[in-house]
Structure 1
Amino acid sequence: MSVGYLPMLQRMKIKLCLLIWIVFVSCSLSVHGSDEFAMKTRIQFGVIKNDNASENIFPSGFLNFDEGLNLNRAELILEKVPQSNIKPRIGPFPGPKPGLADWGFEIDLRYGEDAAITFGLDDELEVNEGNERLYLLPQWFLNGYLPIADGFSWIVGSWFTSIGHEIGAPVDPPTAFYTHAYAFTYQPVKHVGAMGALKLPFDRESGLWSSGLGIVQGWNNLQDNNNDKTLIFDLRWRSPDFRTWLDMENIVGYEQSEQGTTDQTRPFNAVSSTDEKLLRRMHSVTLSHSFTRLHRIVVNAVYGKQEGGDTIADANNPPGFLITQESRWYGVNLNYYFQWRENKQLGMRAEWFRDEQGAHALLPEGIYRSLTMNLSWWVQDGLRIRPELRYDQYSGNGKPFAGQVPTIFFGEEEQQWVASLDATWFYTL
């Protein structure tokens, strides 16, 4: 990085912070006294324990690595929700089309151990250096609605990904478990860019349809290491009775790393000595159905592929840290929920997942299987307590459990039990 480039990055971050502050102040003033504006808090912490001598519970924890007591997040969320019959990343909703344009915004401020870092922003804050609990700005965006066709919505800024079933927040649905599926470990967490979603003009008898298209800075990046943007697009369908949902989501783009710099392309690192562009793509299909008010099922299937480069990692890195051949990962997870009381939900998840060539920078190639069961208990409005038990089993040439991050390849176990108890408190100020 040249000397002249560093001041430019600093100026970019200062301008970004000023922009966020100006948007917040102007929006707060414009909606003063309006029910549309909300200030929320979200606090999540948990106790987690595995059945081996290692303190590491990755990969079943993903966003945090250590057993014991974890402060996952303490968040302040500022938002104004626009009136709309469609939302980008979520899909269409029943009801009449609003006749007027509207706009909104969201800003999330987080402190905690769930390290969903935006490269080029959170990772460069001096306050985070050497700390396990980090200050993060995971979401900051403007969004809005236009009465075009049957309804059009848009979002610009930094936001949690729409690719995959789970998201990077403890919101149920879709994230009904404390630990995460392997599919989540292999998907992006968030994007910086722009996206639009259009409600398609089909007859009500055929259900509700929408299509979304966006351009982003790759996976989890504010700064990208090439001039090629990444494309995300989706197609969503809701049954006429709104009990069955189908979501088909995709992300495609060149995500090669630079020599000596892999932070912004993790967890899939591929480097070309000739600056060849290396394509990465991932596809997710999620089908959910509510049989009754008590019984709901969700099936999620994912497929991804990263092109390999011609650069091999040095001996200080774990095996497969740099991808040198076309690498694929794919799997399916089945989720079942039983709302057996008004304030209690039983959840069960079974997953099969394969990483063919060890594409993930921290995991060996092989087949991963997991079973998870939990009980979600809403003690009162805004407070959820959730005991959970999980079993993981691996088949392959490595040993991913009972190791130390980042050298997961040199663990001691091919299976792992994880028990946890977490609490999440939601409150609107």
Structure 2
Amino acid sequence: MLAGVLALGSACYAQDIEVEPVVLDPSFEVAPVAFEDVEIQTISLTDSSAQAAAYGDACCNYDVGSCRNCCAGDGLAGGGWFVDGWISQGYTANFDHPANNFNTPMTFNDRADEYQMNQLYLAMGKNVEEESCWSLGGRVDLLYGSDYFFTMARGLETRQDLTRHWNGDGPRAAGEAALYGLAMPQMYGEVYAPIGNGLKVKFGHFYTIIGYESVMAPQNFFYSHAYTMQYGEPFTHTGALASYTAGDHLTLHGGVTNGWDNFDNPNGQLSALMGFQYATDTSSLSYSFINGKEDIDGLNNRFLQSLVYTRKLGSRWTYVFQSDFGLEENGKLDANFESDTAYWYGVNQYLFLKYTDTVDLGLRLEWFRDEDNARVIAVPIEAFSTGGNYYEVSLGANWRPYDFVNVRPELRYDSSNINLLGAQGPYNNFMDKQMWTASFDVIFKF
């Protein structure tokens, strides 16, 4: 498939319980969970210099710049062909021991008190050469594991009615989806044009440029993910995205896509995906947004913006601030059962410390406001659900005893004021308003 592209160039919680979207007038659809990239590059999985870079070092995903376009090693240099991969597997202990064995509304490491093989990941392709001539490249990513369920795209892994194309049945989605399956989160071609300081155009299926955290396990400090990433943002797009180098520090992005996690958009409309990144040796500021109609009938506009700021604090500390804001027209029913706009927004803060050459420490503080309960529990009906605040605090470490191994222990506390039809809270199978988890995973790169 990739060779064909190059030859041509030469010439959610809501997901776990599968809540049916509320039908409004005009109708709307609760989108599946989604994810990102500012110009996705792969990680050289055998380059010791790349692995030695820590959260206080330059050019690491959680340091200066986007978490989606750093940590590239020698395997990506020179525009040659590459094959990279890893396996991420872990265990999450839930202090409540929920009877259904799910840590919902937590996704990705969503299974309680049992082993998970989250990602067996393979990326292959050819990098464009950013020189004074035209260059062609492309990439295909395959993900097998429990994370497949959260990265599926409509029209690719699923049909238009969201039934699965090739993954089987199991305990997810009310018994309709297997614990483990296969997804193809990226499949795109890329062209480099020697226009001005350099123009790159990506066309196909690719990760989003929105947000900070990534689907790809090695590009995150924590094993678990923030609510913002899990429920507030898309994961993938299908379309075209151009990136232009406007100077030594500024990169501009712009394109059109099929919207949030759509390989094939059922309403036939396109969404605008735009952004920029300004990066220096010590700090980075990136802004991105997506705007378009995401419902089946193509009537209701959805808008999301994300701002990410990173700053090095001396030689050992790094601070990251993220703020998202999203809305969808006719995305909820108010107390009178009339259609109204749904909102979600939040703030994430990260602090990383390079403790030793092989150990990094990290803290994540998050407040996520699902004001109308349209994103997490996906019951945007004011008469049935109230509240909307989610808080989480995560303490973690990264231990890299070898260049190809990263061990990520984590302690996490979640709380929420959600009330849903008399349920006691969103945790422990709707029995609690708070949740404690202790987890770890091990990433082996090859």
Q: Same fold (TM over 0.5)?
A: yes
1:401 to 402, 427, 434: 427
Alignment of 1:3-402 (within 5 A): 19-20=1-2, 22-23=4-5, 36-54=80-98, 55-60=101-106, 62-67=107-112, 68-84=114-130, 98-114=131-147, 115=149, 116-124=151-159, 126-130=165-169, 131-172=178-219, 175-185=220-230, 186-201=232-247, 208-239=249-280, 242-257=281-296, 275=297, 277-308=299-330, 324-360=339-375, 362=377, 365-398=387-420, 399-402=425-428
Which deviates more from structure 2 when the two are superposed, residues 122-131 or residues 339-348? 122-131
Quote the residue 1:272 is aligned against. Answer: none
Distance 1:301 1:170, change over 3 A: same
Q: Look up the equivalent residue of 2:404 and give its one-letter code.
A: G
Find the aligned partners of 1:197 and 1:424 in 2 and give their Cα distance: 31
Q: Look up the equivalent residue of 1:99 and give its one-letter code.
A: S
Cα offset, 1:20, TM superposition: 4.3
Name the Cα RMSD after superposition.
2.4
Cα offset, 1:70, TM superposition: 0.6
Cα offset, 1:56, TM superposition: 1.4
Cα offset, 1:279, TM superposition: 0.4
Query: Which structure 2 segments of 5+ residues have no match?
Result: 10-77, 170-177, 379-384
Please identify runs of 4+ aligned residues in structure 1 that moved more than 6 A: 24-27
Q: Contact between 2:156 and 2:165, CA under 8 Å: does it hold in 1?
A: no
Distance 1:249 1:26, change over 3 A: closer
Q: Secondary structure at the match of 2:266?
A: coil
Find the aligned partners of 1:136 and 1:298 in 2 and give their Cα distance: 30
Aligned identity (percent) is 25
The C-alpha deviation readout for 1:164-202, integer Å capped at 9, x for no partner, is 111211133xx211111111021101111110011124x
Q: Secondary structure at the match of 2:217?
A: coil
Find the aligned partners of 1:419 and 1:25 in 2 and give their Cα distance: 49
Cα offset, 1:35, TM superposition: 7.3
Cα offset, 1:112, TM superposition: 0.7
Q: Look up the equivalent residue of 1:106 and give its one-letter code.
A: R
The C-alpha deviation readout for 1:15-46, integer Å capped at 9, x for no partner, is xxxx446348999xxxxxx8721112211111
Q: Secondary structure at the match of 2:4?
A: helix
Q: Look up the equivalent residue of 1:402 and give its one-letter code.
A: N
Q: Contact between 2:221 and 2:362, CA under 8 Å: does it hold in 1?
A: yes
How many residues were matched structurally?
348
Is 1:413 equivalent to 2:435 in the alignment?
no
Query: Which structure 1 segments of 5+ residues have no match?
Result: 1-18, 28-33, 85-97, 258-274, 313-318, 404-410
Q: Secondary structure at the match of 1:44?
A: strand
Q: Contact between 2:269 and 2:298, CA under 8 Å: does it hold in 1?
A: no
Distance 1:291 1:101, change over 3 A: farther
